[in-house]
Protein backbone atom coordinates (compact mmCIF):
# COMPACT_ATOMS: atom_id res chain seq x y z
CA UNK A 1 0.00 0.00 0.00
CA UNK A 2 1.33 3.42 -0.96
CA UNK A 3 2.46 5.72 1.81
CA UNK A 4 0.53 8.98 2.21
CA UNK A 5 2.28 12.13 1.03
CA UNK A 6 0.85 14.14 3.90
CA UNK A 7 -1.44 13.68 6.85
CA UNK A 8 -4.88 15.13 6.10
CA UNK A 9 -6.84 17.11 8.68
CA UNK A 10 -9.14 15.11 10.99
CA UNK A 11 -12.15 13.94 8.99
CA UNK A 12 -15.58 15.24 10.01
CA UNK A 13 -18.26 13.59 7.86
CA UNK A 14 -21.76 14.81 7.03
CA UNK A 15 -23.90 11.87 5.90
CA UNK A 16 -26.96 13.12 4.02
CA UNK A 17 -29.63 10.41 4.04
CA UNK A 18 -30.47 7.82 6.70
CA UNK A 19 -32.43 5.39 4.55
CA UNK A 20 -31.31 1.84 3.83
CA UNK A 21 -27.89 2.67 2.41
CA UNK A 22 -27.25 5.54 4.81
CA UNK A 23 -28.07 3.43 7.86
CA UNK A 24 -25.86 0.60 6.56
CA UNK A 25 -23.07 3.14 5.98
CA UNK A 26 -23.32 4.23 9.62
CA UNK A 27 -23.16 0.64 10.89
CA UNK A 28 -20.06 -0.10 8.84
CA UNK A 29 -18.35 3.18 9.75
CA UNK A 30 -19.04 2.53 13.46
CA UNK A 31 -16.37 -0.21 13.37
CA UNK A 32 -13.66 2.10 12.00
CA UNK A 33 -11.61 4.88 13.60
CA UNK A 34 -10.28 6.92 10.66
CA UNK A 35 -12.60 9.89 11.30
CA UNK A 36 -13.38 12.26 14.15
CA UNK A 37 -17.15 12.46 13.93
CA UNK A 38 -20.14 11.58 11.77
CA UNK A 39 -23.22 13.81 11.58
CA UNK A 40 -26.27 12.09 10.06
CA UNK A 41 -28.93 14.27 8.45
CA UNK A 42 -32.33 13.21 7.11
CA UNK A 43 -35.71 14.87 6.66
CA UNK A 44 -37.12 12.15 8.94
CA UNK A 45 -35.94 12.63 12.52
CA UNK A 46 -36.69 9.04 13.54
CA UNK A 47 -34.52 7.63 10.75
CA UNK A 48 -31.63 9.99 11.50
CA UNK A 49 -31.74 9.30 15.22
CA UNK A 50 -31.89 5.52 14.72
CA UNK A 51 -28.94 5.52 12.31
CA UNK A 52 -26.90 7.63 14.74
CA UNK A 53 -27.65 5.41 17.73
CA UNK A 54 -25.08 2.77 16.73
CA UNK A 55 -22.06 4.83 17.88
CA UNK A 56 -21.39 7.48 20.51
CA UNK A 57 -19.35 9.50 18.00
CA UNK A 58 -22.43 10.01 15.85
CA UNK A 59 -24.87 12.90 16.07
CA UNK A 60 -27.95 13.65 14.01
CA UNK A 61 -30.09 16.50 12.71
CA UNK A 62 -33.00 17.05 10.34
CA UNK A 63 -32.83 18.80 6.98
CA UNK A 64 -34.24 18.57 3.48
CA UNK A 65 -31.63 17.23 1.03
CA UNK A 66 -32.94 19.65 -1.57
CA UNK A 67 -32.33 22.71 0.63
CA UNK A 68 -28.84 23.94 -0.21
CA UNK A 69 -28.86 26.73 2.38
CA UNK A 70 -29.85 24.39 5.20
CA UNK A 71 -27.14 21.89 4.29
CA UNK A 72 -24.53 24.64 4.08
CA UNK A 73 -25.52 25.99 7.50
CA UNK A 74 -25.32 22.54 9.12
CA UNK A 75 -21.99 21.75 7.48
CA UNK A 76 -20.48 25.05 8.56
CA UNK A 77 -21.79 24.73 12.12
CA UNK A 78 -20.20 21.30 12.52
CA UNK A 79 -16.96 22.10 10.64
CA UNK A 80 -17.61 19.35 8.10
CA UNK A 81 -14.67 18.26 5.92
CA UNK A 82 -16.44 15.57 3.85
CA UNK A 83 -20.03 15.35 2.61
CA UNK A 84 -21.33 11.83 1.93
CA UNK A 85 -24.45 11.79 -0.25
CA UNK A 86 -26.74 8.81 0.47
CA UNK A 87 -30.00 10.12 -0.95
CA UNK A 88 -31.55 9.27 -4.32
CA UNK A 89 -30.31 10.93 -7.55
CA UNK A 90 -32.96 13.68 -7.49
CA UNK A 91 -30.95 15.36 -4.74
CA UNK A 92 -27.46 14.91 -6.15
CA UNK A 93 -27.05 18.47 -7.36
CA UNK A 94 -28.27 20.28 -4.19
CA UNK A 95 -25.99 18.17 -1.97
CA UNK A 96 -23.12 18.48 -4.48
CA UNK A 97 -23.57 22.26 -4.59
CA UNK A 98 -23.73 22.58 -0.79
CA UNK A 99 -20.44 20.70 -0.42
CA UNK A 100 -18.75 22.96 -2.97
CA UNK A 101 -19.98 26.12 -1.23
CA UNK A 102 -18.76 24.86 2.14
CA UNK A 103 -15.38 23.85 0.73
CA UNK A 104 -15.74 20.21 1.75
CA UNK A 105 -14.81 17.14 -0.23
CA UNK A 106 -17.79 15.21 -1.58
CA UNK A 107 -18.73 11.59 -2.30
CA UNK A 108 -21.84 10.05 -3.83
CA UNK A 109 -23.07 6.66 -5.04
CA UNK A 110 -25.24 7.90 -7.91
CA UNK A 111 -24.70 10.84 -10.23
CA UNK A 112 -26.76 13.72 -11.61
CA UNK A 113 -29.71 12.63 -13.74
CA UNK A 114 -29.78 12.26 -17.50
CA UNK A 115 -32.17 13.71 -20.07
CA UNK A 116 -33.08 11.88 -23.25
CA UNK A 117 -32.14 13.11 -26.70
CA UNK A 118 -35.29 14.98 -27.81
CA UNK A 119 -35.47 13.45 -31.31
CA UNK A 120 -33.51 10.16 -31.25
CA UNK A 121 -33.45 8.89 -27.65
CA UNK A 122 -32.62 5.27 -28.55
CA UNK A 123 -29.56 6.00 -30.66
CA UNK A 124 -28.15 9.34 -29.54
CA UNK A 125 -27.26 10.63 -26.07
CA UNK A 126 -28.80 13.75 -24.62
CA UNK A 127 -27.68 15.02 -21.23
CA UNK A 128 -25.80 12.04 -19.79
CA UNK A 129 -25.54 10.85 -16.21
CA UNK A 130 -23.06 13.03 -14.35
CA UNK A 131 -22.82 15.74 -17.04
CA UNK A 132 -23.95 18.42 -14.61
CA UNK A 133 -21.28 17.40 -12.14
CA UNK A 134 -18.44 17.06 -14.64
CA UNK A 135 -19.31 20.56 -15.93
CA UNK A 136 -18.08 21.86 -12.55
CA UNK A 137 -14.78 19.97 -12.60
CA UNK A 138 -12.80 23.20 -13.04
CA UNK A 139 -14.50 24.82 -10.02
CA UNK A 140 -13.66 21.93 -7.72
CA UNK A 141 -10.12 21.77 -9.07
CA UNK A 142 -9.61 25.51 -8.61
CA UNK A 143 -10.77 25.18 -4.99
CA UNK A 144 -8.41 22.26 -4.39
CA UNK A 145 -11.35 20.04 -3.39
CA UNK A 146 -12.36 16.55 -4.52
CA UNK A 147 -15.78 15.33 -5.65
CA UNK A 148 -15.49 11.54 -5.80
CA UNK A 149 -18.57 10.57 -7.80
CA UNK A 150 -20.11 7.15 -8.35
CA UNK A 151 -18.45 5.57 -5.30
CA UNK A 152 -21.01 2.93 -4.32
CA UNK A 153 -20.84 -0.66 -5.49
CA UNK A 154 -22.35 -0.10 -8.95
CA UNK A 155 -21.08 2.43 -9.86
CA UNK A 156 -18.02 2.26 -7.63
CA UNK A 157 -16.49 -1.14 -7.06
CA UNK A 158 -16.90 -2.10 -10.73
CA UNK A 159 -14.91 1.03 -11.64
CA UNK A 160 -12.19 0.00 -9.19
CA UNK A 161 -12.16 -3.43 -10.86
CA UNK A 162 -11.75 -1.74 -14.25
CA UNK A 163 -8.68 0.17 -13.09
CA UNK A 164 -7.24 -2.97 -11.45
CA UNK A 165 -7.77 -5.03 -14.61
CA UNK A 166 -6.11 -2.37 -16.76
CA UNK A 167 -3.12 -1.94 -14.44
CA UNK A 168 -2.50 -5.56 -13.43
CA UNK A 169 -4.28 -8.10 -15.64
CA UNK A 170 -4.67 -6.85 -19.23
CA UNK A 171 -2.46 -5.29 -21.86
CA UNK A 172 -5.43 -4.60 -24.14
CA UNK A 173 -9.14 -4.49 -23.25
CA UNK A 174 -11.88 -5.32 -25.72
CA UNK A 175 -14.81 -4.90 -23.35
CA UNK A 176 -15.49 -3.81 -19.80
CA UNK A 177 -18.86 -5.40 -19.13
CA UNK A 178 -20.51 -4.74 -15.78
CA UNK A 179 -22.70 -7.75 -14.95
CA UNK A 180 -24.89 -7.68 -11.83
CA UNK A 181 -27.23 -10.43 -10.69
CA UNK A 182 -28.67 -12.24 -7.69
CA UNK A 183 -30.79 -15.16 -6.58
CA UNK A 184 -32.59 -13.14 -3.93
CA UNK A 185 -36.19 -13.92 -3.03
CA UNK A 186 -38.43 -11.93 -0.67
CA UNK A 187 -40.82 -14.05 1.34
CA UNK A 188 -44.40 -12.81 1.61
CA UNK A 189 -44.34 -10.41 -1.35
CA UNK A 190 -45.27 -10.90 -5.00
CA UNK A 191 -43.23 -7.85 -6.00
CA UNK A 192 -40.73 -6.25 -3.64
CA UNK A 193 -37.60 -4.55 -5.07
CA UNK A 194 -34.57 -4.81 -2.80
CA UNK A 195 -33.42 -1.29 -3.75
CA UNK A 196 -35.12 2.10 -4.17
CA UNK A 197 -37.93 1.68 -6.71
CA UNK A 198 -37.63 5.38 -7.59
CA UNK A 199 -34.00 4.86 -8.67
CA UNK A 200 -34.75 1.49 -10.27
CA UNK A 201 -37.45 2.98 -12.50
CA UNK A 202 -35.13 5.83 -13.46
CA UNK A 203 -32.21 3.66 -14.55
CA UNK A 204 -34.20 0.78 -16.08
CA UNK A 205 -36.61 2.77 -18.27
CA UNK A 206 -34.12 5.34 -19.54
CA UNK A 207 -32.22 4.58 -22.77
CA UNK A 208 -29.10 2.57 -21.81
CA UNK A 209 -25.77 4.06 -22.85
CA UNK A 210 -22.98 2.03 -24.48
CA UNK A 211 -19.37 3.15 -25.04
CA UNK A 212 -18.11 1.81 -28.37
CA UNK A 213 -15.35 2.80 -30.79
CA UNK A 214 -14.49 5.96 -28.91
CA UNK A 215 -17.95 7.42 -28.40
CA UNK A 216 -21.19 6.97 -26.47
CA UNK A 217 -24.49 5.94 -28.03
CA UNK A 218 -27.83 4.77 -26.64
CA UNK A 219 -30.01 1.74 -27.25
CA UNK A 220 -33.48 0.65 -26.18
CA UNK A 221 -34.30 -0.42 -22.58
CA UNK A 222 -33.78 -4.11 -21.79
CA UNK A 223 -31.91 -4.66 -25.06
CA UNK A 224 -29.29 -7.28 -25.97
CA UNK A 225 -30.24 -9.98 -23.43
CA UNK A 226 -27.63 -12.56 -22.47
CA UNK A 227 -27.41 -15.29 -19.85
CA UNK A 228 -24.49 -14.82 -17.46
CA UNK A 229 -23.42 -17.52 -15.02
CA UNK A 230 -22.80 -15.80 -11.67
CA UNK A 231 -20.41 -17.32 -9.10
CA UNK A 232 -20.84 -18.69 -5.56
CA UNK A 233 -24.02 -20.60 -6.22
CA UNK A 234 -26.10 -17.82 -7.79
CA UNK A 235 -25.95 -19.42 -11.23
CA UNK A 236 -27.27 -18.36 -14.66
CA UNK A 237 -29.28 -15.13 -14.81
CA UNK A 238 -30.50 -13.31 -17.92
CA UNK A 239 -29.02 -9.79 -18.02
CA UNK A 240 -30.11 -6.82 -20.15
CA UNK A 241 -28.80 -3.36 -20.97
CA UNK A 242 -29.61 -0.72 -18.34
CA UNK A 243 -28.55 2.92 -18.05
CA UNK A 244 -25.77 3.20 -15.46
CA UNK A 245 -22.91 5.49 -14.51
CA UNK A 246 -20.04 3.03 -15.06
CA UNK A 247 -20.39 3.38 -18.83
CA UNK A 248 -19.93 7.15 -18.47
CA UNK A 249 -17.07 6.90 -15.95
CA UNK A 250 -14.76 4.08 -17.05
CA UNK A 251 -13.74 5.44 -20.48
CA UNK A 252 -12.41 8.61 -18.86
CA UNK A 253 -9.44 6.79 -17.29
CA UNK A 254 -9.39 3.25 -18.68
CA UNK A 255 -8.81 2.34 -22.34
CA UNK A 256 -11.39 -0.11 -23.67
CA UNK A 257 -13.02 -0.65 -27.04
CA UNK A 258 -16.42 -1.15 -25.46
CA UNK A 259 -18.09 -0.54 -22.07
CA UNK A 260 -21.51 -1.95 -21.16
CA UNK A 261 -23.76 -2.38 -18.13
CA UNK A 262 -26.17 -5.30 -17.92
CA UNK A 263 -28.40 -6.14 -15.00
CA UNK A 264 -30.15 -9.40 -14.15
CA UNK A 265 -33.72 -8.16 -13.70
CA UNK A 266 -35.84 -11.20 -14.58
CA UNK A 267 -38.89 -11.38 -16.85
CA UNK A 268 -41.42 -10.51 -14.15
CA UNK A 269 -39.52 -7.41 -13.03
CA UNK A 270 -39.13 -6.21 -16.62
CA UNK A 271 -42.85 -6.71 -17.33
CA UNK A 272 -43.79 -4.72 -14.21
CA UNK A 273 -41.52 -1.86 -15.27
CA UNK A 274 -42.93 -1.89 -18.81
CA UNK A 275 -46.47 -1.78 -17.41
CA UNK A 276 -45.63 1.16 -15.14
CA UNK A 277 -44.26 2.98 -18.19
CA UNK A 278 -47.32 2.23 -20.32
CA UNK A 279 -49.60 3.57 -17.59
CA UNK A 280 -47.50 6.68 -17.02
CA UNK A 281 -46.72 5.61 -13.47
CA UNK A 282 -43.01 6.13 -14.07
CA UNK A 283 -43.52 9.90 -14.45
CA UNK A 284 -41.96 12.26 -11.92
CA UNK A 285 -43.98 15.36 -12.84
CA UNK A 286 -46.88 15.98 -10.43
CA UNK A 287 -50.39 15.35 -11.74
CA UNK A 288 -53.65 16.72 -10.34
CA UNK A 289 -55.70 14.12 -8.47
CA UNK A 290 -59.25 14.70 -7.20
CA UNK A 291 -60.08 13.15 -3.86
CA UNK A 292 -62.60 13.56 -1.04
CA UNK A 293 -60.12 15.99 0.53
CA UNK A 294 -60.03 18.11 -2.61
CA UNK A 295 -57.54 18.34 -5.46
CA UNK A 296 -53.92 17.49 -4.76
CA UNK A 297 -50.83 17.16 -6.95
CA UNK A 298 -48.75 14.02 -6.70
CA UNK A 299 -45.93 12.42 -8.66
CA UNK A 300 -47.03 9.02 -10.06
CA UNK A 301 -43.60 7.54 -9.34
CA UNK A 302 -43.79 8.71 -5.72
CA UNK A 303 -47.16 6.95 -5.40
CA UNK A 304 -45.64 3.69 -6.70
CA UNK A 305 -42.78 4.04 -4.21
CA UNK A 306 -45.21 4.69 -1.35
CA UNK A 307 -47.22 1.55 -2.18
CA UNK A 308 -44.23 -0.80 -2.17
CA UNK A 309 -42.42 -2.04 0.96
CA UNK A 310 -39.41 -0.11 2.21
CA UNK A 311 -36.32 -2.00 0.89
CA UNK A 312 -34.42 -1.18 4.09
CA UNK A 313 -36.93 -3.21 6.10
CA UNK A 314 -37.04 -6.29 3.88
CA UNK A 315 -33.89 -7.92 5.27
CA UNK A 316 -35.62 -10.52 7.50
CA UNK A 317 -37.73 -11.71 4.54
CA UNK A 318 -34.86 -11.83 2.03
CA UNK A 319 -33.00 -14.99 1.11
CA UNK A 320 -30.04 -15.43 -1.20
CA UNK A 321 -26.97 -13.60 -2.46
CA UNK A 322 -26.26 -10.54 -4.57
CA UNK A 323 -23.29 -10.23 -6.93
CA UNK A 324 -21.72 -7.12 -8.43
CA UNK A 325 -18.90 -7.56 -10.89
CA UNK A 326 -17.04 -6.73 -14.08
CA UNK A 327 -16.43 -9.07 -17.00
CA UNK A 328 -13.25 -8.03 -18.78
CA UNK A 329 -12.16 -9.45 -22.14
CA UNK A 330 -9.02 -8.76 -24.15
CA UNK A 331 -5.37 -9.72 -23.98
CA UNK A 332 -3.34 -10.47 -20.86
CA UNK A 333 0.02 -8.88 -20.07
CA UNK A 334 1.76 -11.42 -22.34
CA UNK A 335 -0.60 -10.79 -25.25
CA UNK A 336 -2.69 -13.98 -24.95
CA UNK A 337 -6.54 -13.90 -24.99
CA UNK A 338 -8.06 -13.48 -21.54
CA UNK A 339 -11.61 -13.36 -20.15
CA UNK A 340 -11.94 -12.61 -16.42
CA UNK A 341 -14.85 -11.82 -14.13
CA UNK A 342 -13.94 -9.75 -11.04
CA UNK A 343 -16.73 -9.83 -8.50
CA UNK A 344 -18.04 -9.17 -5.00
CA UNK A 345 -20.75 -11.38 -3.48
CA UNK A 346 -22.69 -10.70 -0.28
CA UNK A 347 -24.98 -13.26 1.37
CA UNK A 348 -28.09 -11.71 2.93
CA UNK A 349 -28.01 -14.10 5.87
CA UNK A 350 -24.47 -12.97 6.69
CA UNK A 351 -25.10 -9.22 6.33
CA UNK A 352 -28.25 -9.43 8.45
CA UNK A 353 -26.55 -11.42 11.20
CA UNK A 354 -23.34 -9.39 11.18
CA UNK A 355 -24.68 -5.85 10.62
CA UNK A 356 -28.48 -6.00 10.70
CA UNK A 357 -28.82 -4.72 7.12
CA UNK A 358 -29.95 -6.50 3.99
CA UNK A 359 -27.25 -7.42 1.50
CA UNK A 360 -28.07 -5.05 -1.38
CA UNK A 361 -27.93 -1.84 0.66
CA UNK A 362 -24.99 -3.15 2.72
CA UNK A 363 -22.96 -3.94 -0.41
CA UNK A 364 -23.64 -0.43 -1.71
CA UNK A 365 -22.65 1.20 1.58
CA UNK A 366 -19.34 -0.49 2.29
CA UNK A 367 -17.54 0.99 -0.73
CA UNK A 368 -17.76 4.70 0.22
CA UNK A 369 -16.63 3.85 3.74
CA UNK A 370 -13.52 2.17 2.31
CA UNK A 371 -12.94 5.15 0.00
CA UNK A 372 -13.25 7.63 2.87
CA UNK A 373 -10.67 5.71 4.87
CA UNK A 374 -8.24 5.88 1.93
CA UNK A 375 -8.84 9.63 1.71
CA UNK A 376 -8.44 10.05 5.48
CA UNK A 377 -5.05 8.35 5.42
CA UNK A 378 -3.89 10.18 2.30
CA UNK A 379 -3.56 6.99 0.24
CA UNK A 380 -6.06 8.40 -2.26
CA UNK A 381 -5.66 12.05 -3.22
CA UNK A 382 -7.11 14.21 -5.96
CA UNK A 383 -8.92 17.40 -6.93
CA UNK A 384 -11.80 18.06 -9.27
CA UNK A 385 -14.72 15.80 -10.19
CA UNK A 386 -13.32 12.26 -10.48
CA UNK A 387 -14.65 8.72 -10.57
CA UNK A 388 -13.16 5.72 -8.73
CA UNK A 389 -11.13 4.61 -11.76
CA UNK A 390 -8.98 7.73 -11.39
CA UNK A 391 -7.28 6.17 -8.33
CA UNK A 392 -4.98 3.23 -7.67
CA UNK A 393 -7.23 0.20 -7.27
CA UNK A 394 -4.99 -2.07 -5.22
CA UNK A 395 -5.20 -0.16 -1.89
CA UNK A 396 -8.99 -0.17 -2.17
CA UNK A 397 -9.21 -3.91 -2.86
CA UNK A 398 -6.75 -4.69 -0.07
CA UNK A 399 -8.76 -2.62 2.40
CA UNK A 400 -12.03 -4.19 1.25
CA UNK A 401 -10.55 -7.57 2.16
CA UNK A 402 -9.44 -6.15 5.52
CA UNK A 403 -13.05 -5.11 6.21
CA UNK A 404 -13.95 -8.81 6.06
CA UNK A 405 -15.76 -8.60 2.73
CA UNK A 406 -13.46 -10.22 0.17
CA UNK A 407 -13.68 -9.89 -3.62
CA UNK A 408 -12.87 -12.64 -6.11
CA UNK A 409 -11.98 -13.46 -9.71
CA UNK A 410 -13.16 -16.14 -12.08
CA UNK A 411 -11.61 -17.00 -15.45
CA UNK A 412 -14.25 -17.46 -18.15
Q: Give the residue-averaged pLDDT of 169-191.
A: 92
Task: Classify 12-152+354-406 by CATH class.
Answer: alpha beta
Q: What percentage of the chain has pLDDT greater than the value 90? A: 79
Structure confidence at residue 167 as a pLDDT band (50, 70, 90): very high
What pLDDT does 6 receive?
56
User: Which residue ranges make up each domain of the chain?
Assistant: 12-152+354-406, 157-350
Tens of pLDDT along 300-326? 888 888 888 887 788 888 999 999 999
CATH (residue range 157-350): 3.30.360.10
Chain centre distance of CA 356: 20
Q: Give the residue-averaged pLDDT of 271-280.
A: 88
What pLDDT does 4 receive?
46
Structure confidence at residue 7 as a pLDDT band (50, 70, 90): low
What pLDDT does 202 receive?
83
Tens of pLDDT along 314-370? 888 899 999 999 999 999 999 999 999 999 999 999 999 999 999 999 999 999 999
Mean pLDDT of the chain: 94
Structure confidence at residue 3 as a pLDDT band (50, 70, 90): very low
What pLDDT does 165 receive?
98
Least confident of 101-110, 158-167, 292-301, 364-373: 292-301
Say how far apart CA 282 and CA 336 lie, in whole Å.
46
Amino acid sequence: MAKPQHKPAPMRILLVGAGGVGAAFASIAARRDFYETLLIVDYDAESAEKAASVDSRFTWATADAGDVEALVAIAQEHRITHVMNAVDPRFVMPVFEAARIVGADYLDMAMSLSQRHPQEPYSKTGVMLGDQQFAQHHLWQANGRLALVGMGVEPGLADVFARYASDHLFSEIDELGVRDGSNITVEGYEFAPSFSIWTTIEECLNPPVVWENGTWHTTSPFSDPEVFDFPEGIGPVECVNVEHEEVLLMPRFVNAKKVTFKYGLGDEFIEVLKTLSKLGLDRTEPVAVRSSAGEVEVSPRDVVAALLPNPAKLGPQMRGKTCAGLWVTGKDKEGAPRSTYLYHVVDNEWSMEEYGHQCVVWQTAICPVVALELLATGVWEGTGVLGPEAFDALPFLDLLNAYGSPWGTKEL
